[in-house]
Amino acid sequence: MKMNMADWDIYCLTDAGLSRGRSTVTVVSEMLKAGATVIQYREKDKKAGEMFEECLAIRELTRQAGCCFIVNDHIEIAMLCDADGVHIGQEDLPVASVRQLIGDDKIIGLSTHSPEQCRAAIKAGVDYIGVGPVFFTKTKKDVCDPVGFEYLDYVVGNHSIPFVAIGGIKAGNIKEVASHGARCCALVSEIVGADDIADMLRGLRSVIAEFR
């Protein structure tokens, strides 16, 4: 059975390169202390074996906490560790093929950057979409130019599919993003690079709570 995406508020992502020497599992543990509702494992520079071991550990932690666990790109690792779902990009495997692999009871998220991609994603049967990048971001190397609030406003005004606003969102601008209708926002460096990860996440969650 699919996890409930209506509870998502802050979409947490891992990034070992921004975690100030802390292990990915440690970072996830701190996220869970603050009541994280969804965590995506996104590591670009690790070997498959290391990613698999980390995902097994994170799967156990998130299961105990009742937190949704999403794996970015690596569908085989998501399947092997029984993650709740996968997140893919526009140039990854087609949604229909991913669905054939993971089955109907798992979540598929897809990054989108335009109304056309949004409509195509809905037609393809994804469970949620990423909307962005809202602002300029250095976190992802192959990211497209910022789409600003225009695309976010389009999704909010025209579609009911669950979505995650992403791209350059920080503590200083998350309220503005939420005011445009985003009820779930993704942050990377602001969380994994914080002195106190749990405290940072609690603060971010409280901002989103104002708009729910």
- Which residues belong to the active site? 42, 111, 140
CA angle 102, 105, 107 (to 5 degrees): 70
DSSP output for 90-124: TTSS-HHHHHHHH-TTSEEEEEE-SHHHHHHHHHH
Contact at 8 Å (CB) between 168 and 146? yes
Inter-axis angle of helices 115-124 and 95-102, nearest 10:
40
